[in-house]
C-alpha cells in the first residue's frame, strides 16, 4: 500500500512540473486574435427566398459578424424577383446590396468578408 501512495505522489508531482513547464512556454499572443469591428456605414439589403440555403448563409454571415441588415422576401413575389433579375443580370438569390450598390450573391458577400472589406479601416470598393 505504501508503494502506491508514493507512485501517486510522484505522478502528481510529474503532472505539476509538466504544467509549470508548459505554462512558462505559453505565449498568449498566439491565442489573442484581433477583434474585427464592422463598419457602421454599411446599409445591407438582401433579397431572399426562405428555402434558399445561400440566403440563409448570407444572413448567418452578417449575424456572425454583427452587421445589421434588412431583407425582402421574394418567395411570393415573382414580379419583383423578375425585375431584380433583369436589373442585375443575376438569376439566383440572394441579391446583396450594400449602400444601394448591387454586389452580387452570397459568394460575393463572403469574398468581401474574407478580404476584410466589411470592417473598419477597409473600403468596400476601391475607386
Give every CB contact of residue 92 below 8 A, 6+ residues apart in sequence.
54, 105
Average pLDDT of every residue of the chain: 83
- The three grid cell numbers given for residue 12, joined into one nine-digit string: 502528481
Identify the bridge partners of residue 95 per DSSP, sorted by sequence position. Answer: 47
Q: Is 103 helix (H, G, I), strand (E, B) or coil?
A: strand
Alpha-carbon span 3 to 7, nearest angstrom: 6
Specify the pLDDT at position 22: 59
* Inter-residue contact 94 to 105 (CB < 8 Å): yes
The predicted-structure confidence for 43-60, as pLDDT tens digits, reads as follows 999 999 999 999 999 999
pLDDT at 125: 46
- How big, in percent rounded to 5, are the helix, strand and coil portions of the chain? 45, 15, 35
- Rounded Cα gap, residues 19 and 11, in angstroms: 12
Does the structure show a pLDDT above 80 at 69? Answer: yes
Reported as a pLDDT band with limits 50, 70 and 90, residue 97 is: very high
pLDDT at 96 over 60: yes
pTM over 0.95: no
- The per-residue pLDDT for range 11-35, each reduced to its tens digit, is 777 766 666 665 555 554 444 445 5
Amino acid at each position: 500500500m505504501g508503494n502506491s501512495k508514493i507512485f501517486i505522489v510522484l505522478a502528481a508531482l510529474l503532472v505539476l512540473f509538466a504544467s509549470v513547464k508548459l505554462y512558462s512556454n505559453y505565449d498568449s499572443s498566439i491565442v489573442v486574435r484581433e477583434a474585427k469591428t464592422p463598419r457602421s456605414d454599411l446599409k445591407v439589403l438582401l433579397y431572399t427566398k426562405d428555402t434558399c440555403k445561400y440566403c440563409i448563409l448570407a444572413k448567418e454571415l452578417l449575424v456572425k459578424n454583427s452587421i445589421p441588415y434588412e431583407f425582402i422576401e421574394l418567395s411570393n413575389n415573382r414580379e419583383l424577383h423578375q425585375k431584380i433579375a433583369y436589373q442585375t443580370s443575376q438569376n439566383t438569390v440572394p441579391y446583396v446590396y450594400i449602400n444601394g450598390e448591387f454586389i452580387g450573391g452570397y459568394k460575393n458577400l463572403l469574398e468581401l468578408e474574407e478580404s476584410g472589406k466589411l470592417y473598419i479601416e477597409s473600403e468596400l470598393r476601391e475607386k
